[in-house]
Amino acid sequence: MGYMPHLKIYTTNFCSYCDRAKAILKSKGITDYEEMNIAGREGMREEIARLTGGRWDVPQVFIDGAYIGDDDALADLAHSGELERMFGMNENSSGNGKGNVDRRDVLIIGSGPAGLAAALYAARAQLNTLVLTGKEIGGQLSLTLDIENYPGFKDGHAGNLIQDMQEQAKRFGAAIEMGYVTEVDFSQRPFRIKTYGSEIEAQSVIVATGSSPRKLEIPGELDYVGRGVSYCATCDGFFFKDKEVVVVGGGDAAVEEGLFLTRFAKTVTIIHRRDRLRANPSIQARALDNPKMKFLWDTVVTAVLGNDKGAYGVRLKDVKTGAEREFKTDGVFIFVGHLPNTTLFEGKLQMDDKGYLIADKRQHTDVEGVFAAGDVQDHVYRQAITAAGTGAAAAIEAERFLAEMAGKAQPAAV
């Protein structure tokens, strides 16, 4: 065997972006690499900042000591074929799907509550089912720590709920693979789907790609991502031990992530455009009772301030008086809503003016045999339990569709 580059990846616990990076490596057959989990390790903030030129987030990837970047940078390498070239692989050895097509009855794109519920129902109906996890295993649940309102789940730990749902779907035969879809062709059946490492033909598809954090779109925000600006407290909170941070937003996600940050930060200041929180009352009560949490009401962030060392503050505006001022902070965590993950389906499936997939009451899209479930088609409720319900419905409809196409008996209505 010839020379193999040394790949090192810095990760932490409960980090969906770290899982995505490792999934990309696995899809290319790269399993022999060094993983450095930074959780609980002193001095890692300074080390990673030194190695990356000032970033304070994970994952971070290095090949033969050269800095590659985060999971998005690794995905770009994989998509371009450069990763295979760096590791001396030809295209076929990397498993990119040429001449090796995976055929399925049901392909589920996404692994949040909608995708995993769909997997359970489809597999239990004895359909050959594959789940491609996407960026985050567990969807938005992977970016939070606690869940208090999922019926029958008293544990409260979101990660455990995700794990339980995966195991239940697997028990009935569903395959769950770390994979990221790069292209879909819904023009004819079987539908053709490409990932970084494979090509799949599916008789039916359930789209459960969920949503991603909305950005503020203000000056300085993107300039300091990974250098003080973050959209994931569970991923990056470790870097702000004994620091002062702000959380922008007033909903469930903002307050829950703020509470998580109190495990590390000296103070957590919630900045909200209204005079009261929008979060669930029980979550509000915990936040208001936490001595580390402070609140700035009727205030918006108009810019992130920083220098070559990273973000050092934000510019604030009082929405009632119009007065502006600077506010010093070591970190800016942004939780101001979500955008549906539908870019992949532009021109393929019908969407509304906000980019959400349009599905009927039975989860059918405008393409026969393609169904939508979860937050990707729901901008109203956006709850784990409602997402799971639409996932189950989509799987039942997929079963009906496949039975009709095959001329078999359809599942009875319940």
Q: State percent of the chain over pLDDT 90.
A: 69
Query: Could you tell me if residue 44 is inside a domain?
Result: yes
Going by C-alpha positions, the residue among 210, 231, 332, 336 that lies closest to residue 278 is: 336
Give residue 171's identity as a one-letter amino acid code: R
Domain end (from 334, 355, 371): 334
Are 319 and 382 found together in one domain? Answer: no
Domain end (from 86, 109, 137): 86
Cα distance between residue 355 and residue 87, in whole Å? 38
Place of tokens 């209204």: 274
Domain with residue 302: its CATH number is 3.50.50.60
pLDDT one-digit tens code per residue, 209-251: 999 889 999 999 999 999 999 998 888 898 999 999 999 999 9
Most confident of 49-53, 335-339, 366-370: 366-370
- Domain range for 154 is 101-212+338-406
Q: Is 15 a catalytic residue?
A: no
Are 175 and 250 found together in one domain? Answer: no
Are 245 and 259 found together in one domain? Answer: yes
- In whole numbers, what is the pLDDT of the chain averaged over residues? 91
pLDDT for 248 equals 98
Query: Could you tell me if residue 234 is inside a domain?
Result: yes
Query: Could you tell me if residue 1 is inside a domain?
Result: no
Are 371 and 327 found together in one domain? Answer: no
Q: Is 235 a catalytic residue?
A: yes
Range 82-102 average pLDDT: 68
pLDDT one-digit tens code per residue, 276-313: 999 989 999 999 999 999 999 999 999 999 999 899 99
Are 274 and 311 found together in one domain? Answer: yes
The answer to which of 1-5, 190-194, 225-229, 346-350 has the lowest mean pLDDT is 1-5
Query: Could you tell me if residue 112 is inside a domain?
Result: yes
The answer to which of 79-83, 214-218, 225-229, 369-373 has the lowest mean pLDDT is 79-83
pLDDT for 409 equals 61
Q: Which residue among 57, 70, 71, 236 is the active-site one?
A: 236
Q: Is 236 a catalytic residue?
A: yes
pLDDT bucket at 178, cuts 50 / 70 / 90: confident
Going by C-alpha positions, the residue among 175, 163, 35, 44 that lies closest to residue 106 is: 175
Cα distance between residue 164 and residue 120, in whole Å? 11
Are 325 and 345 found together in one domain? Answer: no
Q: Which residue among 57, 70, 71, 232 is the active-site one?
A: 232
Are 376 and 299 found together in one domain? Answer: no
Q: How many domains does the chain have?
A: 3
pLDDT one-digit tens code per residue, 38-70: 988 888 989 999 999 989 899 999 999 999 999
pLDDT for 213 equals 86
Are 201 and 226 found together in one domain? Answer: no
Range 359-388 average pLDDT: 95
Domain with residue 70: its CATH number is 3.40.30.10
Are 115 and 197 found together in one domain? Answer: yes
pLDDT for 42 equals 86
- What's 130-197 look like in SS3? EEECCCCCCHHHHHCCECCCCCCCCCCEHHHHHHHHHHHHHHCCCEEECCCEEEEECCCCCEEEEECC
Query: Could you tell me if residue 217 is inside a domain?
Result: no
Are 273 and 330 found together in one domain? Answer: yes
pLDDT for 412 equals 59
